């Protein structure tokens, strides 16, 4: 226990396989080890587990790196930046695994196996038919070691399998769940080194974690069932065991079943995604995403909205939760909106720019800075700045004619209101909101129309939309001349309806 709750510097790692896009599950698998390393003052390492050439996807590693960078999870050692245990890409470490696999063979903890995949398949099929557990039948385990060596040297294809003890049991410890005892008889002679010379996860991860001096292995709970094998491997080498913590999986929003890449389509319909790349485009911030995933599987008393720095202060590995968590996009929205409200004005402005650019709008920096205070508390995602604020940068707006007719009034009355507004505002030398609002309010008073009706018409005329940031402040930013032009246009539209 002393070891488990150590406060000594920790070396942790994020070890994804480059087989697809980076999703929130990956992100959380990177976050917790990052937090631990920063909390305890150790190192956080990125290691690419690309030992499966069949599933390898060329762009995946870069996407992983981009994702980590976007989130601000900076690693201290990794394939692109090097480090004392280079290389950090497993495909470049073949010799290391080869050597370790054979070391186990020499120690008689593993054996070379020449069985063909075809035969193994048949055996498995047969076992399942007989309701037996599918497992290696031991054919090559019985081979004489000198004979095996001879066949290997002769160039015969082989794999190396772990020689699982037939008797006994093994007790392993998961930090979040306590100790788990497994009968060795339930375990298999798993392949450690494949016939293509590359290792399986079981060998590669254990060897690298040891060589890279990893102190805490934080990984998905899908590894829980193979932890006994992993501990066997570690002990066969006589190495120290790192602390293991298995994260629970993310469930679909419905809570039924594990969230998978295939759920993307469903989420996208509602403007959500589980892929980091998508989320960025959808206007989510790293702060929001981080806060969201952090709290799924980690209970932090008295803390809710947190920055990365705050998470580091508060993190403790034993406060992680072992139970599965259903993802909840509404909560993501909440965290995203909250962090947007917390941002400095210039920071928010800089982050909004790409979204205006994407819309082909020519934003002006000074205008952008001025509109931020009006926009900020209305944004759930960054790209909401388009629906709320595009009119600031458009040459002209084209209101829906029927929106120009106020509720309870007809086109004629609405046109009258627009004309009066034009007069009142046109009489002002400028339309700072201090100058424009009082006379307009006075007009509301004397006219008998409601503020809702008068300001509503003005809003649609000036912004082109029924929902907008506060009217008078918006008009001030747009400027007198443009406002008057837009109001005149509204008058024309309304008069066309009446005539």
Partner RNA sequence: GCCCCCAUCGUCUAGUGGACUAGGACGCGGCCCUUUCAAGGCCACGACCGGGGUUCGAAUCCCCGUGGGGGCACCA
Site for RNA in 108-167 (CB under 7 A): 115-117, 120, 124, 131, 133-136, 157, 159
* Tokens encoding 455: 């300001």
- 8 vs 131, beta carbon nearer RNA: 131
DSSP tag of 9: -
- 124 vs 149, beta carbon nearer RNA: 124
User: Which of the stretches 70-78, 352-360, 447-455, 479-487 binds RNA when contact is defined by CB under 7 A?
Assistant: 447-455
- 71 vs 440, beta carbon nearer RNA: 440
Is 261 noted as a catalytic residue in this protein? Answer: yes
Question: CB of residue 341 vs RNA: minimum separation in angstroms?
Answer: 6
Is residue 55 within 8 A of residue 317, CB to CB? The reply is no
Question: CB of residue 499 vs RNA: minimum separation in angstroms?
Answer: 28
Quote the CA–CA distance of 82 and 88 in Å, as a whole number: 7
Quote the CA–CA distance of 52 and 165 in Å, as a whole number: 27
List the interface residues with RNA, window 192-231 (CB under 7 A). 194-196, 198-201, 221-226
489 phi/psi in degrees, rounded to 5: -60, -40
Residue from 147, 365, 377, 430 binding RNA (CB under 7 A): 377
Residues that contact RNA, how many (by CB under 7 A): 88
Cα-atom radius of gyration of the chain, to the nearest Å? 32
Is residue 411 within 8 A of residue 405, CB to CB? The reply is yes
Question: CB of residue 201 vs RNA: minimum separation in angstroms?
Answer: 4
Residue 432 makes contact with RNA by CB under 7 A: no
| 170, β-bridge pairs | 182
Residue 19 makes contact with RNA by CB under 7 A: yes
User: Which of the stretches 24-32, 34-42, 145-153, 466-474 binds RNA when contact is defined by CB under 7 A?
Assistant: 466-474
Question: CB of residue 249 vs RNA: minimum separation in angstroms?
Answer: 5
- 107 vs 186, beta carbon nearer RNA: 186
Among 499, 498, 468, which residue's Cα sits nearest to residue 486? 468
- 306 vs 308, beta carbon nearer RNA: 306
Give one DSSP letter per residue of 339-375, joined into a string: HHHHS-HHHHHHHHHHHHHHTT----HHHHHHHHHHH
Q: How far is CA 426 from CA 419, 420, 437, 480, in A?
A: 10, 10, 13, 8
Question: CB of residue 471 vs RNA: minimum separation in angstroms?
Answer: 4
* Tokens encoding 146: 């000198």
Query: b/e for 444-483, b at 16 or more Cβ within 10 A?
Result: beeeebeeebbbbbbbbbbbbbeebbebbbbbbbbebebb
- 93 vs 459, beta carbon nearer RNA: 459
Quote the CA–CA distance of 386 and 372 in Å, as a whole number: 12
Q: How many CB atoms lie within 10 A of CB 247?
A: 26
List the interface residues with RNA, window 285-304 (CB under 7 A). 295-301, 304
Question: CB of residue 167 vs RNA: minimum separation in angstroms?
Answer: 16
* Tokens encoding 395: 């040459």
Residue from 468, 478, 484, 493 binding RNA (CB under 7 A): 468
List the interface residues with RNA, window 42-81 (CB under 7 A). 49, 51-52, 54-55
Annotate each residue in 303-322 with x if it binds RNA (CB under 7 A) or - if it does not, as one string.
Answer: -x--------------x-xx
Catalytic residue among 258, 261, 466, 496: 261
Residue 381 makes contact with RNA by CB under 7 A: no
- 112 vs 494, beta carbon nearer RNA: 112
Residue from 341, 358, 412, 496 binding RNA (CB under 7 A): 341
Residues with catalytic annotation? 261
């Amino acid at each position: 226990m002393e070891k488990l709750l150590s406060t000594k510097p920790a070396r942790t790692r994020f070890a994804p396989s480059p087989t697809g896009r980076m999703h929130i599950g990956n992100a959380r698998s990177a976050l917790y080890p990052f937090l631990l390393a920063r909390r305890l003052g150790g190192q956080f390492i990125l290691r690419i587990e690309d030992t499966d050439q069949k599933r390898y996807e060329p762009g995946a590693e870069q996407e992983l790196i981009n994702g980590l960078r976007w989130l601000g999870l900076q690693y201290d050692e990794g394939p692109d930046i090097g480090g004392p245990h280079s290389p950090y890409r497993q495909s470049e470490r073949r010799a290391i695994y080869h050597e370790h696999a054979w070391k186990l063979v020499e120690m008689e903890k593993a054996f070379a196996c020449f069985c063909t995949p075809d035969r193994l398949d048949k055996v498995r099929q047969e076992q399942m038919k007989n309701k037996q557990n599918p497992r290696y039948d031991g054919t090559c385990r019985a081979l004489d070691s000198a004979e095996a060596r001879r066949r290997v040297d002769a160039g015969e294809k082989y794999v190396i399998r772990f020689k699982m003890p037939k008797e006994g049991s093994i007790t392993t410890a998961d930090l979040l769940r306590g100790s788990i005892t497994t009968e060795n008889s339930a375990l298999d002679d798993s392949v450690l080194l494949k016939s293509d010379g590359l290792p399986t996860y079981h060998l590669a991860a254990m060897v690298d974690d040891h060589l890279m001096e990893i102190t805490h292995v934080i990984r998905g709970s899908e590894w829980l069932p193979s932890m006994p094998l992993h501990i066997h491997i570690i002990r066969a080498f006589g190495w120290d065991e790192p602390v293991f913590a298995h994260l629970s999986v993310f469930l679909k929003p419905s809570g039924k079943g594990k969230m998978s890449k295939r759920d993307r389509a469903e989420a996208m319909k509602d403007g959500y995604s589980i892929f980091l790349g998508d989320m960025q485009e959808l206007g989510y911030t790293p702060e929001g995403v981080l806060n969201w995933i952090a709290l799924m599987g980690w209970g932090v008393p008295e803390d809710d909205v947190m920055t990365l720095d705050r998470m580091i202060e508060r993190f403790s590995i034993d406060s992680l939760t072992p139970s599965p968590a259903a993802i909840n996009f509404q909560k993501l929205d909440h965290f995203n909106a909250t962090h947007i409200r917390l941002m400095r004005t210039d920071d928010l402005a800089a982050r909004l720019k790409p979204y205006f650019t994407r819309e082909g709008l020519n934003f002006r920096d000074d205008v952008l800075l001025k509109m931020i205070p009006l926009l900020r508390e209305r944004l759930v995602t960054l790209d909401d700045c388009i629906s709320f604020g595009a009119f600031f940068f458009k040459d002209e707006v084209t209101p829906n004619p029927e929106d120009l007719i106020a509720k309870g009034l007809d086109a004629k009355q609405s046109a009258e209101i627009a004309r009066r507004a034009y007069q009142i505002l046109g009489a002002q030398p400028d339309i700072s909101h201090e100058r424009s609002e009082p006379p307009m309010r006075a007009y509301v008073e004397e006219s008998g129309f409601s503020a809702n009706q008068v300001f509503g018409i003005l809003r649609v005329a000036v912004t082109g939309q029924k929902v907008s940031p506060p009217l008078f402040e918006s008009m001030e930013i747009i400027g007198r001349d443009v406002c008057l032009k837009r109001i005149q246009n509204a008058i024309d539209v309304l008069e066309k309806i009446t005539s």
